[in-house]
Amino acid sequence: MRGLLTGLMVLCGLAAAPAQAAEPGTPAVPATVRMFEGCWRGEGEVLGKRTLVTLRARQIVERAMDLFEVESVAADDAADRYGAHLLFAGAGTGEGASGDRIWSFWADSFGAGYTAVGQGVGRSDGFDVDYRYPEDVFINRWRLTRGVLRWTIVSRAGPGPEKPFASYILRRSPCRVTAR
């Protein structure tokens, strides 16, 4: 009886243990990214244009990465739509790192010519990722405070000042089931 009980405890423990990344040694997605997992709805502004936005953040590829799926539409023009897929993964920690290092890839409805790889770092209230394009750096700041997600994007050309590009305020919402 004792052996059966021990076996059941081991089996239950294995079932409850979190799954690891697909490959041994793969850095985990930082908790500062994973805290955004789920579905979000809100609004914001892109280059002065009011937008409505939804975000679905979830684990993919055996929990080795998170995918943030973004859809937005201009508040005054339902035909003015935008979509983006942002991949996030752990980049490991290194000497002098102030937090979890993050690797990212940005792809959107502007097509392959506007994809970018980003690097960033976690913070206690979220994370920052910089995406370098030939002419500018786009700095994405993700913050979660009291259940409110604030996502701001600023651009900077060289050593120049930051310029506002986009800002969003989102709140958790139920996830819709989609058939794809």
Domains and CATH numbers, the chain: 24-172 (2.40.128.20)
Q: What is the pTM of this model?
A: 0.83
CB-based contacts of 69, cutoff 8 Å, min separation 6: 55, 56, 57, 58, 83, 84, 85
Report whether pLDDT(153) > 70.
yes
User: For residue 103, what pLDDT is reported?
Assistant: 96
pLDDT tens digits, one per residue of 13-70? 333 344 554 588 888 899 999 999 999 999 999 999 999 999 999 999 999 999 999 9
**How far is Cα of residue 135 from the mean position of the Cα atoms in its chain?**
24
pLDDT tens digits, one per residue of 117-136? 999 999 999 999 999 988 89
Pseudo-torsion of CA 81, 87, 93, 99, nearest 10°? 30
CB-based contacts of 112, cutoff 8 Å, min separation 6: none
